[in-house]
Amino acid sequence: MTKILIPIFGNDISPRFDLTAEVYIVTIDANGQYQDERIVVLPQISAEQLCHLILTENVKVVICGGIEDEYYQYLLWKRIKVYDSIIGPWNTAVSRFLDNALHPGDILNDQKEPSINE
């Protein structure tokens, strides 16, 4: 089982880790099936409290937008995989993660890519 946390702003990944007020948490089983998913509203905006939540929830993967190096390094030290500088819808990020097609710095788009003949 893998637990993923994504700081969100509406339907998108929050542009800044340290300024998020909501997070999406999902647990995925070995077959890629969603076991549990929820949105958590944080009591206050705080990168330290967000890191604490990540540890207490036993999160293994964080998918986020911009993150200060201090928090990035802390999460890596705690053996949490961080996909940073991701821009776009959080549900697309989860799908790309499950397809092993998510990379730090990705700009995600739900729209169909235009073909060369269009």
* In the predicted structure, residue 98 carries a pLDDT above the cut 80: yes
Structure confidence at residue 15 (pLDDT): 95
The answer to whether 83 and 60 are in contact (CB under 8 A) is no
The answer to whether residue 64 is domain-embedded is: yes
The answer to whether residue 34 is domain-embedded is: yes
Tell me how many domains the chain contains.
1
The answer to whether residue 104 is domain-embedded is: no
The answer to whether 64 and 83 are in contact (CB under 8 A) is yes
pTM for this entry: 0.88
Per-residue pLDDT tens digits for 40-86: 999 999 999 999 999 999 999 999 999 999 999 999 999 999 999 99
- The secondary structure element, H or E, covering residue 74 is helix 69-77
Domain that holds residue 91: 2-98
Task: Write down how long the chain is.
Answer: 118
CATH number at residue 50: 3.30.420.130
Q: Could you tell me which residues are beta bridge partners of residue 38?
A: 25
Helix 47-56 / helix 69-77 crossing angle, nearest 10 deg: 20
Cα separation, 83 vs 66, in Å, equals 10
The answer to whether residue 56 is domain-embedded is: yes
Structure confidence at residue 6 (pLDDT): 97
Structure confidence at residue 7 (pLDDT): 97
* In the predicted structure, residue 100 carries a pLDDT above the cut 70: yes
Rounded mean pLDDT of 9-38?
92
Cα separation, 67 vs 22, in Å, equals 15
